[in-house]
Structures are given as C-alpha cells and as structure tokens.
Amino acid sequence: MRTRTRSRAAVAVKAKTTNTTSFASRLIAWQSEHGRHDLPWQNTADPYRIWLSEIMLQQTQVTAVVPYYERFLLAFPDLPALARAPLERVLELWSGLGYYSRARNLHCCAQSVMEKFGGAFPDNVETLRQLPGIGRSTAAAIAVFAFGVHAPILDGNVKRVLARHAGVDGFPGERKVEEQLWRIAEERLPNKQIEAYTQGLMDLGATICTRARPSCMLCALAADCVALTTGRVGALPTPRPKRAMPQRAVTMLLLLRHEAVLVERRPPMGIWGGLWSLPELPEDITVERYCATRFAAQVRADEPLAAIEHSFTHFHLRITPQPCTVVSWNTRAEEPGLLWLPLMEASTAALPAPIKKFLLGLRPAIRA
C-alpha cells in the first residue's frame, strides 16, 4: 500500500532539484495578486522611509508599527530632521513600541549618515551593515527596496518560509542552521524583479506561512514544500529550546506632589535605556533612608501597591510600586536626571509602556 508521506531524504533531494526560477516566479506572481501593496512605506524608493520602516519592523508586527511610523514621519519628515532632534523626543515617539535600543540606534544612525555620507544612505549592503542598528538582513532589505540591489534577506518570516519549504531541521537561532538558511536564501534569488520577490517572501510568511495555523492550501509554494509533503509543517522551523525564564523583582518609588510624579532618567544602556521611569529602590536599604540620602527628603513608606508584571525576551520582571508620603522635600530632586512629571503629560512622555499604563491608571484615583 502506498503511503501518503514520503521519506524526508527523498523529498529533500527533490526539493534541491526544484527549479529556482520556478520558486521565484511563483512567489512573484503570488505577490502581485495577493501580496500587500498599500502599507505606508511601500511604493517608494526613499531610503529614509524604507530604513525607518525596516528598523521599526524588527521583532514587531506590522499592525503595531503603522501608527508609530506615521507619527515619526510627521515629526521627522526626513533624515536631517531626525538627526537634529534630541534623543528625548525620539524616545517619546518610540515609547510603547519596545526594544528601545532600536530608537537609540535609529537616532545614532541618522547622525552617522549625515556626518559620514552627507545625508545619503549608502547603496550597498556591506556599508549599510556598518551603521548603528543595521544587521545583515535589514541592510539587504534597505538595499533591495531603495536601490534594487540583489541581496537575500532572512528575517523571522523568511526563515520560517525557507525552513518549511526546504525542510531545514534545527532552531534557526543556532549558527549552523542560520548559515544553512542564508545559503538557501542566496541560491533562490531571482535574476529580476528582486523587489517583488523580496516583498513576496515577507508577505507569504506574514499572511500565509504563519507560525500557527498556516494556510497551506492557499500557498503558491505548497506543491514542493518539504514540510507539507512530509507532514511537518507544525514542527518546522524547530522551536527555540525551552528554558526556564529568569525572574527579576524590583521596587519602584511612587512619589507624588501636586498631581506630578517624580521620575528619573534610566542609564543609556540596559532595559528601557534613556527613558524616564520611577526611581528604583536599591536592595538592602529602606525607603526612608534611600530618599534621605538620594533626595535629602523625608518620606514615609505607605502600603505597597499591586505588582506590575512585565515580560522581556529573556526574563520576566515583577515591579512593586511603593507609594511614599512626602513629609519634607529638598530641591535636590530638581537636579538633572530627575523630573517632576505632571500626570496629565504621562501619555506623551518617554516612559516604558508598563510604567506609562500604571501612571495613567493613577490619574482618576488622584482626582477622586
């Protein structure tokens, strides 16, 4: 009796001999009819707009990026405007999008392009890769869409498409597996219509070859997809090896005065680098002693509020807000790096998303 599933080796051999032009032509045809054509950063060859969108789209879904992208262009319509802007303003507009090192690199990159290249983005992948915040795949995407350069990309969606179609085992984050996927990406580049091909890879991964519940019956590449033929669509790409998520816990001070809250600027490196946040209480010191030492202020610790839970890529953070009654205050809290932020301005301030949400929730209670 003939089984429905062929051996992995046999399918892999067949996939290797699949005509590369056929793969590309099917993808290009699909993109023309079913791909995305009305995203705000499409239908332009402006390197600035393409670069901005590619940085924002790193590890972030399109639906989340669109409003941020549009607000950024209103504030910074071109590269010189972004390069001139203070980092504080850039972080304000980025607040809530996450991965804040992208915002710092974005600002630094804009200044680098102005200083080193006279405001014109380099038109080749290798030079683009030397700029802050631009890796190999992002550099290739910019080069493809802005300059028509033939270069492979390998973002998360593309890794999934290629791993399934070519039947690549192993977690794509492992160097050996990633190198294999890069080779496949290079081998399958078409001779022409590189923009449509690249956009098609992105679109197929985002809308058809999705992580969960992929629409294989609608896929233009289904006929010779190794994962589909061998019944391993759900298993490829191989998930990240499971590991226990580290837990961290911090206490943050909630100091209120005249409907304003005391915030401090976080160090430029590390989580939420450069953003404003509630002062973090060091371990092994009381609230009263810390405020006396740091702010020359006399406070009384009140009952802690419910914890704020927030997860990052590599760890889980538990924040305990510690309200304090201010008995006496000193002007030391007006020094650089500290700010009395009116709660009415919290929605537009450069605050981490969980802190902003927490402070916005305080406004009704304080007015009451």
The full DSSP string for 47-101 is HHHHHHHHHHTTTS-HHHHHHHHHHHHHH--SHHHHHHS-HHHHHHHHTTS--TH
Most confident of 9-13, 104-108, 327-331: 104-108
- Please give the single-letter amino acid code of residue 212: A
Q: Per-residue pLDDT averaged across 174-203, rounded?
A: 96
* 74-100 mean pLDDT: 93
**Residues 346-365, mean pLDDT to the nearest whole number:** 85
Distance of CA 186 to the CA centre of its chain: 25
Which entry of 54, 88, 126, 178 is annotated as an active-site residue?
A: 54
Once rounded to an integer, what is the mean pLDDT over residues 64-81?
A: 96
At residue 16, the pLDDT reads 45
pLDDT at 13: 41
When mean pLDDT is compared across 85-89, 118-122, 336-340, the lowest value belongs to 336-340
Give the mean model confidence (pLDDT) for residues 31-49: 95
- pLDDT confidence of residue 95: 87
Does the pLDDT of residue 287 top 80, yes or no? yes
Place of tokens 């809290």: 333
pLDDT score recorded for residue 365? 54
What is the DSSP annotation of 224-268? G-HHHHTT-TTT-SPPPPP-PPPEEEEEEEEEEETTEEEEEEPPS
Closest CA to 179 of 201, 199, 154: 154
Q: Has residue 17 got a pLDDT over 60?
A: no
Q: What is the mean pLDDT of residues 118-130?
A: 96
Phi/psi-derived region of residue 99, left when phi > 0, alpha when psi is between -120 and 50, beta in every other case? left
Tell me the pLDDT of the chain averaged across its residues. Answer: 90
For tokens 């790193």, the residue is 58
> What is the topology classification, in CATH, of domain 8-229?
Endonuclease III; domain 1 (1.10.340)
Compare 86 and 269 and report the one with higher pLDDT: 86
Q: Which residue carries 């999934």 as its tokens?
A: 160
> In 3-state terms, what secondary structure has residue 29?
helix
DSSP assignment of 314-355 equals S-EEEEEEEEEEEEE--GGGGSTTEEEEEGGGTTTSS--HHH
pTM of the model: 0.80
Percent of the chain scoring above 90 in pLDDT: 74
* Mean local confidence (pLDDT), 64-71: 96
Residue among 187, 220, 223, 190 nearest 205 (CA): 220
Confidence band, pLDDT 50/70/90 cuts, at residue 20: low
Q: Which of 228, 243, 213, 242 is nearest to 163 (CA)?
A: 228
Nearest to 101 by CA among 65, 56, 47, 136: 56
**For the residues 302-311, what does the mean pLDDT come to?**
93
- All structural domains of the chain with their residue ranges: 8-229, 247-367
Catalytic annotation present for 54: yes
- Report residue 15's pLDDT band, with 50, 70 and 90 as the boundaries: very low
Q: Which pLDDT score is estimated for 240? A: 87
Q: How confident is the model at residue 146 (pLDDT cuts 50, 70, 90)?
A: very high
Q: For 247-367, which CATH superfamily applies?
A: Nucleoside Triphosphate Pyrophosphohydrolase (3.90.79.10)
Q: What is the DSSP string of 90-137?
A: HHHHHTTS--THHHHHHHHHHHHHHHHHTT---SSHHHHHTSTT--HH
3-state secondary structure of 277: strand
- Taking each helix axis as running N to C, give the angle between helix 87-94 and helix 62-75, from 0 to 180 degrees, rounded to the nearest 10: 150
- Residue of 211, 217, 218 lying closest to 164 (CA atoms): 211
